[in-house]
Amino acid sequence: MIIKNANIFRNGKFEQSDVLFDEKQILKIGKDLDTEGEEVIDAEGKDLYAGIIDCHIHGGFMRSFQANVKKETWEKYGEPERQARYICRKVLENGVTSIMPTIGDLTVDEYVECVRLIREIRKDVEGADPFMFHFEGAYQNPQHHSSFMHNHDTLPSREHTLAMTDNDLSDVCLIGIAPEMEGSMEYLEWLCSETDVHAEAGYTKASASTITRAADRGLDQTTHMFNSFEPMHHRIDGPDVGIMIDDRIKCQLTLDSYHVSPYWCRFLIKVKGLDNIYGLTDLSSHSGLPEGIHYLENGRIIIAKDGFIRDEKGTIQSGNNTMDQIMYKARNLVGLTKEEVGSIFTENVAGCLGIKDRGKIEVGRRSDFVIMDDEYNVIKTILKGKVVYLGEQLC
């Protein structure tokens, strides 16, 4: 199969080129490739990106990846496996072809149940590949101002991590930690030297010097920068400044123009350098909903409006933006260039997390693509060489 007449994004810029691929991988990239015997997809001059990796997604569309979802939701949205499969398929509409189910705030038994569920559906899921896990806030500071909703505060330890992952870290990408917690430095020395897992700072009250000590032991990521960190102050050496001056640490960044001010977004990119910033959705189970009033099983009402989910009192509960919508806002509200948006949401995710088999249009990588117009509307999503979303319809 070959994609012709595409405005390809690769290596941080757009270029006119063709892409030849099969169901496994990209075979050739170049201008005027021979189409004889090949099925041709005409991109009609639109933008072609690598299939997008969402490294931070809890759920969406009233469904969750957490296996302990309340049974009240089963009748309407299905049991946990059905909910997880639905999310994987639904995000194809937004150009996402790989995801890291993001879980947290669970008991060990609940973690294991969730891990086993995702590993099982991964074998035959018809949708975005849930190829790696993200354990956000697994070891957070219970005194942090964003930790009020969490119920299972646990000190970091090798034993707990192995237990919650069912004694298998081979498909774990990210584990969150507040590095000021007791035992954190010893834990990081083990995690970052003896496994391939990335440690990310978050939900932390650490000092800048503690962040440096954590980076010395291998911590190299942050969960959604500025969110889940202490407010910055010019007389306090907090975690934010420690992260920003340390070139070893990469930063997730929410670019919907609300969770982080557009000025702070641009400031972080300038300080850290574009290649060290990568995007995410942070979709919750209540994200991705059509605008209007939605009634929950517990009798609560939530309101989707202007890209956010609010309760009856108007308090924001979560963002409501899917990946394509956030990319649009990153350019049109945050003020990034198309090249910056392309980098942050495609190649940088793979680059910052050391992912080599997908996330970039490069010979040998997976044949996952998304074709978008100039306003980030998804025209086609291609998964493992097959068109799985066309216009407004899943195939």
| pLDDT tens digits for range 216-253 | 999 999 999 999 898 889 999 999 999 999 999 999 99
Answer yes or no: is pLDDT of 278 > 90: yes
Tell whether 58 is covered by a domain.
yes
Farthest-apart Cα atoms in the chain, separation: 67
At 134-153, the pLDDT tens digits run: 999 789 988 876 554 555 57
Tell whether 383 is covered by a domain.
no
**Percent of the chain residues topping a pLDDT of 90:** 77
- Please, which residues have CB within 8 angstroms of residue 32's CB and are 6 or more apart in sequence? 18
**Region 164-188: what's the mean pLDDT?**
97
pLDDT band at residue 165 under the 50/70/90 scheme: very high
User: Quick check: pTM over 0.85?
Assistant: yes
Please choose, from the candidates 153, 150, 211, the residue with its C-alpha nearest in 3D space to the C-alpha of residue 180: 211
Tell whether 103 is covered by a domain.
yes
Answer yes or no: is pLDDT of 117 > 80: yes
Please choose, from the candidates 281, 319, 280, the residue with its C-alpha nearest in 3D space to the C-alpha of residue 302: 319
**Region 317-346: what's the mean pLDDT?**
96
- Please, which residues have CB within 8 angstroms of residue 354's CB and are 6 or more apart in sequence? 198
pLDDT of residue 148: 46
pLDDT band at residue 299 under the 50/70/90 scheme: confident
Q: Which two tokens stand for residue 103?
A: 């879980």
Q: Which residue has the tokens 């969750």?
A: 64
Please choose, from the candidates 68, 78, 66, 166, the residue with its C-alpha nearest in 3D space to the C-alpha of residue 116: 166
Distance CA 299, CA 304 (A): 16
User: Domain range holding 163?
Assistant: 52-287+322-358
Tell whether 370 is covered by a domain.
no
Tell whether 95 is covered by a domain.
yes
336: domain CATH number is: 3.20.20.140
Tell whether 389 is covered by a domain.
no
**Percent of the chain residues topping a pLDDT of 70:** 96
**Region 2-22: what's the mean pLDDT?**
96
Tell whether 309 is covered by a domain.
no
Average pLDDT over the chain, rounded to an integer: 93
Q: Which element (helix H / strand E) includes 329?
A: helix 323-332
User: For the chain, how many structural domains are there in total?
Assistant: 1
Distance CA 242, CA 82 (A): 42
**Region 42-61: what's the mean pLDDT?**
96
Exposure class string for 366-377: b at 16+ Cβ within 10 A, else e: bbbbbbbeeebe
Q: Which residue has the tokens 């009192």?
A: 313
Distance CA 368, CA 384 (A): 5
Tell whether 381 is covered by a domain.
no
